[in-house]
Chain A
């Protein structure tokens, strides 16, 4: 069961002088661990990175707000880092569209499309919220449902 008795083990435990100190072993194992993850993860990461050329065309999205909501297919916007994003917002009621995190906002009045253009410089998921005119209350720290979500992926 225990092969340590033979002299050809990695670190013969029978001779305590030959055993590297605990700290050294500890960190060498950590090193092995990190190296292994790199070896496995990096090829997985490079593939998508190579698949994208530089962004040139702005990514255009429509937000058609009716009854404080947008159609299901408009609820998630996927872009990649450093894409230029162009939102075209129309609404059946006056109010403001806020993009949290990016601190972008645009006022909307019924019957006229409003545009919002910005560069998606930071990765993550961000909420796009609808604040109808006259609704200022902040009753809790959990926001209401988002109008839509902007997902910015790394390249």
Chain B
């Protein structure tokens, strides 16, 4: 009998997929449907477009598309409507927080029929990220903790306390946004590694813990300082919101309409910790994608065979190592590219270059998000529909939708692949474009700017190729069973 290498490989995969590892869980809590890996054609097409279009952008800048003027955007006045909407959405946010806690603590124990996990992990964490990135950052108006703090703060001021309820402690400058970086890594660890993240009781306890922490933080350091440095969610959504076409206006009654992504090239000084934060936004989504691949299962098997001590039933050691490892790897690659750029332009340090270009990676992070989570949001997000009729699991049927079950065929695999490849390539191109714009602003002449952004462009091509590869992990033919 002659066994081809492909068949042998297939058997290995099949064995790995089977029962070799009790902890070989798929990423994400809701195990109903998983995306198929895209065929190789998407990878080839996406990679080719990535490399080709990078040259097109560079060539356009070489030809002197050099008008770097900041477009201010269009100010849209909404009059008193906007403050009213803001107050209403704050009230809604506090009510929702209350409902999530009640549902989590006393509702159904099944994550798929409980409001808390669906609202938190799918609608809020995934859905709101898309809204913040593609429409505008509405989190400030929907942040229940901010609403609670500011209401109490206002009340205290009216009662005669000049500083409100804030203690006005001095926030250690040296910490920067590092607390938010750590919290983002921790949060994603809970999302993809911690096996009980979607269980209603555990989730409610975690929300209570975060509520205490963030309210205490705002009381100690003041609302604004806390939100800008340690409140991972405020920082996460506001960073995504810089890409969005809608932004807060100059006063309370207006919003600004602007071309997408221009908010990322505004001349702000990023701290080095902010670089770490943006890299974490990128690396964590990529890591989540990596977890579901068969390559990861093989890697796990290999580690188990060579260093058995590293394997625990939940995959905590490997999962944590992988999560931090991917972040460190991405960070290192970015710093290396910045070091090369610093060598090319000579008058800047690598650290300064890293801070300068940090936000240009945001479109890539958004693209990873869309590629990775869109079908998840569309299919699993439908779990909210029955819950709208029965939010607390009391057997109600307020809207007549209590018996709805998600339509798993709502979007086709082919549509998902097409959307994923397109968004990854488009995100890449926007990032390359932003890097060129910033280089042109900072380094002057088009030629010098294009040269300076070469290392970053190469890095972005690598990031993009990696994410395409994860999306389109090569299909291996399993031995057909039956028929």
Contact = CB atoms under 8 A, between A and B. Distances in A.
Which of under 10, 10 to 19, 20 to 34, or 35 or more describes the interface residues of A?
35 or more
Contacts, number: 196
Interface in B437-483: 445-447, 478-483
B483 A45 contact: no
* Secondary structure call for the A interface: mixed
A28 to B, nearest CB: 10
B412 A9 contact: no
A46 to B, nearest CB: 10
Contact of A25 (B65, B478, B482): B65
A142 B195 contact: yes
A33 B446 contact: no
B370 interface: no
Interface string B7-44: 00001001101110111111001111111100101101
B408 A102 contact: yes
Given A1-B447, A2-B447, A100-B32, A140 B196 contact: yes
B71 interface: yes
B1 to A, nearest CB: 15
* Secondary structure call for the B interface: loop
A32 B53 contact: yes
Which of under 10, 10 to 19, 20 to 34, or 35 or more describes the interface residues of B?
35 or more
Interface in A2-17: 2-5, 9-14, 16
Contact of B482 (A61, A101, A126): A61
A93 interface: no
B62 interface: yes
B198 interface: yes
A141 interface: yes
A122 B36 contact: no
Contact of A40 (B36, B45, B197, B447): B45
29 contacts: A2-B62, A9-B63, A13-B66, A13-B67, A21-B71, A23-B71, A26-B259, A29-B60, A29-B429, A30-B430, A34-B422, A37-B425, A45-B414, A59-B482, A61-B481, A72-B11, A75-B17, A75-B481, A77-B481, A78-B480, A101-B408, A103-B405, A124-B35, A124-B36, A140-B199, A141-B111, A142-B23, A142-B195, A145-B18
Interface of A: 1-5, 9-14, 16, 19, 21-23, 25-26, 29-30, 32-34, 36-37, 40-41, 44-45, 48, 59-62, 69, 72-78, 81, 100-103, 121-127, 138, 140-146, 149, 151-154
